[in-house]
Chain A
Amino acid sequence: MVASGSGAVLAAGPLLHAQGLGLERGGRELFRDLSFAVEPGHLMQVEGANGAGKTSLLRILAGLSRYGFSGSVERCAPLLYLGHHSAVKAMLSPRENLAWHISGAGSYSREQIDEALARVGLYGYEDVPSHALSAGQHRRVNLARLYLSAAPLWLLDEPFTAIDRDGVAELEALLVGHAQQGGAVVLTSHQSLSVSYQVAMLSLSAGLQP
């Protein structure tokens, strides 16, 4: 079985520590003095209106934005970041996309990759060139990385975009499973999660609420 996150050796402390984060864009203050820790088992949803700085916050947490904000981020564990763009190459098949994935996080066997693709509903599409896939299937190829990943911390930017209803339910179950196994998930989404698990809400206008 392709386990999600179970292969990771988890640190006892927080996986990520943000201290006094503040960001200004175009003269507008998006957020200020944002401090929080992401502990193993956390499922945290960042919410806010369009333009509230959700993506910017996630990019800061991931380490893609290194300048132009105040505060500091301490990353204590390997992380997996899925952004707006799927990083799926149209000229490669889904199997090649995962086997040669540019993030260089793991070496997977063909069976592991095929199983991950089957889990995201792409059974039978392993060797189809990705340009023949739909936008939602592109997203699913990208989400298959979650089934392969050994990184304890997942940073997901709008993971439900272009995913159908069944896919959303499966993804929610996957996120909860990852948190229960000692991983942590920080995601941005406009829709509320329908899971029986405590979801910490980080509202980008009102600060952290339990």
Chain B
Amino acid sequence: MSAPGTLAFSGRLLRRQLVLALRRPVDIGNPLLFFAMVVVLFPLGLGPVPAALASFAPGILWIIALLANLLTADNLFRGDFEDGSLEQLLLSPQPLYISVLAYVLAQWLVTGLLLALVSPLFAVMLGLAGAAIPVLIASLLLGTAVLSLVGGIGAALTVGLNRGGMLIALLILPFYMPVLIFGSAAVQAVVSGMPAAPHLAILGAMLCLALALAPLAIGAALRISVDA
């Protein structure tokens, strides 16, 4: 009956979060549906000129991915806050840093990873050059991970508030912007025949920074939210 090791516990936590997510398939489907709806709307708004759509495609795809992530960020800790699970997590003998990482990883697997995997379909719908699609996937994989980590800070800070939805957007949107800039720039670079590696490298650096710091901030924010 001894306490499980950190790795065993985080694996168990990851599994718990994934099972919880999979039992609410609507929550997984919502961001994807949002993605599809907005992609369908753009040709109607911009006019169905393939060349114009193709040139806007990197920006469009990245903005939608960002907003889809923003939509889900608020839910990261809310359920666990309301039913008292967060109190138990904070009292657990396990390192909070790792537990928080497991939370964010679970959320990223059902949002960011899925968005990155379905993005080629939407890229083709918008007429994005085929050569840019691998870079689009890579930039979304790196970028949405940063977005999930940063979004987790906002979610942890606002979880105690009843109507945190708008506040979380205001809090974390500024930190989303660099990701958007370098993410869409990476795709844009390939389209215009430039190397995308520098942009992806910067996204990778952002991910390293977020991995190192965001769980600390999330943990501290959760303690404040549960304390209040």
Partner of A104, one of B1, B23, B84, B94: B94
Are A92's CB and B20's CB within 8 A? yes
Which B residues between 1 and 46 are near A, CB-CB below 8 angstroms? 1-4, 8-9, 12-13, 15-16, 19-20, 23-24
Residues on B with C-beta less than 8 A from A180 are none
Residues on B with C-beta less than 8 A from A90 are 83
Say yes or no: is A89 at the interface (Cβ < 8 Å to chain B).
yes
Say yes or no: is A176 at the interface (Cβ < 8 Å to chain B).
no
Are B8's CB and A107's CB within 8 A? yes
Partner of B83, one of A89, A106, A112: A89
Pick from B85-93, B116-124, B186-194 the stretch touching chain A: B85-93
Whether A102 contacts B19 in the complex (CB less than 8 A), given A62-B91, A87-B87, comes out as no
Residues on B with C-beta less than 8 A from A79 are 91
In angstroms, Cα B12 to Cα A62, docked, is 24
Are A78's CB and B93's CB within 8 A? yes
Are A92's CB and B91's CB within 8 A? no
Partner of B80, one of A63, A64, A99, A102: A102
* Total count of chain A residues near the partner, CB < 8 A: 35
**What is the distance, in angstroms, from A149's C-beta to the closest C-beta of chain B?**
8
Residues on B with C-beta less than 8 A from A85 are 82-84, 87
A interface majority secondary structure:
loop
Residues on B with C-beta less than 8 A from A105 are 3, 92-93
0 or 1 for each of B125-154: is its CB under 8 Å from A? (1 = yes): 000000000000000000000000000000
Which A residues between 116 and 149 are near B, CB-CB below 8 angstroms? 148
Are A87's CB and B91's CB within 8 A? no
Are A107's CB and B4's CB within 8 A? yes
Residues on A with C-beta less than 8 A from B23 are 91-92
Are B9's CB and A104's CB within 8 A? yes
Are B1's CB and A87's CB within 8 A? no
Are B20's CB and A89's CB within 8 A? yes
Are A91's CB and B20's CB within 8 A? yes
Residues on A with C-beta less than 8 A from B12 are 99-100, 104
Are B91's CB and A89's CB within 8 A? no
Residues on A with C-beta less than 8 A from B223 are 66
Partner of B1, one of A83, A92, A101, A107: A107
**What 6 additional pairs, Cβ within 8 angstroms, besides A62-B91, A81-B88?**
A64-B227, A65-B227, A66-B227, A89-B20, A96-B19, A112-B1
Q: Which 9 A-B pairs have the closest CB atoms?
A: A85-B84, A100-B16, A104-B92, A87-B84, A103-B88, A104-B94, A107-B4, A91-B23, A104-B9
Interface residues of A (CB under 8 A from B): 7, 62-68, 78-79, 81, 83-92, 96, 99-108, 112, 148, 150
